[in-house]
């Protein structure tokens, strides 16, 4: 518990978990909050800085099911967030993946049992699918099956992050961005344990009573998380539709299939995003996070924001095209633009790392987003605030605690194969020399660029 006038720093405060945390703390009456980030909101490095993200409530079990219902309500009722949700529904489909079909049937059954039968519908045949998703009339989906969810759709992600950033400014949350917002190290008391603040890469020392680290995929590179999170990346691309095509797809449900990927309706300007689904890529490199006395080999993000000329792997582009060709053969050869890589960090057991860091007094970790935390923007900060105020339920505290001891080397934090490394992938081109990484090494203040 900290006083309402305590000095609180949220590192990564222009990203998803960080800005939500600053918002909730401010709404609870904390008066001296400062967000630090490499970029101002909507942070260009944030996984949430994207035109759209999916949201759904049809996975009913476990913690993510509970949180999905809570966050859907928040998007629909909190006036800061309501402009950004598009509850157009969702098709969640499968073809060959029998396990996936079993899971979807199970989730469908759970919804019905929970009295939410009017919010879901089982789609047994292509005809059933087309009733809910007539926009897929040309799709090659004979034999596909799945479910339709009513309380689902998409979020205008970048716009929502921008709105939260603007709200933070309006309600008096302080900020620093760029080199004076980029975390270099903690400042510790002589006892080596008590956190006194944060030093940023320009040498500024920001004093604080409490520091919250919400730096997404960068978290393991900044503070030694003892292997609890592995950062991974995914890729996406966009196509341009004509005004007629755009109109025809307006208000259509989002579509997800674990076998190919997902898409949502186009923007009003006819831009449509496609993402292929797979287990993600790592990018193994060496760095020395704060708290470690040795270099550690781990997956280190290389963001599109800092490396805008980076391309995506050839196989990724082919997978995106396969998704497009299957669902919209008429768009199959449309040029892809603004292809990019986006980084998340998976905890080994698929739960947030949202806890006091037991090694330091006054450091809270809010990370381990596991690739589906954007939808939690309205509520994740509530749980960080609950943690700070000692109000987390025992169950949640246990689930999100510091837990390096539970790691099994084979845990990947998600279904599917172990991730492959980006560096081994053909077509993943970057600026050609090490200088791009050297800049980031300088920015991050800790990576030895000769080994990146
Ligand atoms: C392709 C793709 C599709 C996705 N689709 C969905 C979806 O449909 N629905 C969904 O819910 N989720 C989705 N996600 C996941 C979602 O975007 C993330 O889970 C979420 O945005 C992560 O939030 P975060 O706060 O942990 O990290 P981020 O939002 O990435 O924020 C981290 C912040 O830390 C800052 N930072 C980094 N280093 C430093 C430093 N040294 N000093 C200061 N600040 C620093 C960054 O600038 C950034 O602002 C998707 C992710 C990807 C990659």
Domain boundaries, the chain: 7-420
Burial of 160 (0-12, 13-18, 19+ CB in 10 A): buried
Query: pTM higher than 0.85 for the full model?
Result: yes
Average pLDDT of every residue of the chain: 93
Residues within 6 Å of ligand 1 by CB: 11-12, 14-18, 36-39, 43, 45-48, 53-54, 181-183, 214-216, 218, 222, 234, 236, 275, 342, 344, 367, 369, 371-375, 444
368 CA distance to ligand 1 middle (Å): 10
Provide the β-strand partners of residue 148.
91, 121
**17, 42, 46: residue to mutate for ligand 1 pocket, most atoms within 8 A of CB:** 46
Indicate the fold that domain 7-420 takes in CATH. FAD/NAD(P)-binding domain (3.50.50)
139 CA distance to ligand 1 middle (Å): 32
Q: Which among 313, 183, 170, 164 has a CA at the least distance from the CA of 236?
A: 313
Q: Over the stretch 221-267, which tens digit does the pLDDT of each residue have? A: 999 999 999 999 999 999 999 999 999 999 999 999 999 999 999 99
Contact by Cβ (8 Å): 142, 126:
yes
First to last CA, the chain: 40
**11, 13, 16, 440: residue to mutate for ligand 1 pocket, most atoms within 8 A of CB:** 16
Percent over 70 (pLDDT), the chain: 95
Tokens of 87: 């509850």
Atom 49 of ligand 1 has which residue's CA nearest to it? 15
Radius of gyration over every alpha carbon of the chain, rounded to an integer in angstroms: 22
Q: Over the stretch 282-334, which tens digit does the pLDDT of each residue have? A: 999 999 999 999 999 999 999 989 998 999 999 999 999 999 999 999 999 99
Whether the per-residue pLDDT at 59 is higher than 60: the answer is yes
Cα–Cα dist 59/149, whole Å: 10
């Amino acid at each position: 518990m900290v006083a309402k006038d305590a000095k609180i720093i949220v590192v990564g405060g222009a990203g998803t978990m960080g800005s939500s945390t600053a918002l909730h703390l401010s709404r609870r009456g904390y008066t001296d909050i400062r967000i630090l980030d490499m970029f101002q909101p909507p942070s260009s490095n944030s996984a949430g800085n994207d035109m759209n993200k999916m949201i759904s409530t049809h996975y009913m079990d476990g913690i993510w099911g509970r949180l999905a219902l809570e966050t859907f309500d928040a998007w629909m009722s909190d006036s800061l967030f309501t402009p950004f949700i598009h509850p157009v529904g969702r098709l969640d489909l499968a073809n060959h993946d029998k396990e996936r079909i079993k899971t979807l049937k199970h989730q469908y059954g759970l919804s019905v049992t929970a009295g939410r039968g009017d919010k879901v519908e089982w789609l047994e045949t292509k005809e059933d699918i087309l009733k809910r998703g007539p926009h897929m009339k040309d799709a090659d989906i004979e034999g596909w099956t799945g479910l339709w969810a009513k309380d689902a759709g998409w979020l205008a992600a970048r716009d929502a992050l921008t709105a939260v950033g603007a709200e933070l400014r309006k309600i008096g949350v302080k900020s620093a961005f760029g080199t004076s917002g980029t975390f270099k190290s903690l400042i510790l008391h002589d006892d080596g344990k008590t956190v006194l603040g944060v030093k940023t890469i320009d040498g500024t020392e920001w004093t604080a009573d409490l520091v919250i680290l919400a730096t997404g995929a960068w978290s393991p590179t900044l503070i030694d998380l003892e292997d609890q999170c592995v950062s991974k990346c995914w890729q996406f691309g966009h196509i341009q539709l004509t005004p007629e095509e755009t109109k025809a797809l307006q208000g259509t449900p989002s579509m997800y299939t674990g076998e190919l990927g997902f898409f949502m309706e186009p923007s009003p300007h006819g831009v449509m995003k496609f993402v292929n689904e797979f287990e993600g890529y790592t990018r193994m490199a060496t760095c020395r996070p704060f708290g470690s006395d040795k270099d550690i080999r781990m997956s280190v993000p290389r963001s599109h924001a800092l490396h805008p000329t980076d391309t995506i792997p050839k196989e990724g582009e082919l997978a995106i095209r396969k998704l497009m060709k299957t669902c919209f053969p008429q768009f199959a050869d449309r040029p892809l633009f603004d292809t990019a890589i986006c980084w998340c960090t998976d905890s080994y057991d698929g739960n947030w790392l949202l806890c006091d860091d037991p090694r330091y007094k006054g450091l809270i970790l809010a990370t381990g987003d596991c690739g589906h935390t954007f939808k939690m923007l309205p509520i994740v900060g509530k749980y960080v605030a609950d943690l700070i105020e000692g109000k987390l339920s025992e169950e949640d505290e246990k689930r999100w605690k510091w837990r390096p001891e539970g790691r099994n080397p084979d845990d990947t934090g998600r279904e599917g194969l172990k991730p492959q490394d980006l560096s081994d992938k053909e077509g993943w081109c970057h600026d050609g020399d090490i200088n791009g990484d050297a800049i980031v090494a300088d920015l991050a203040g800790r990576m030895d660029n000769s080994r990146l």
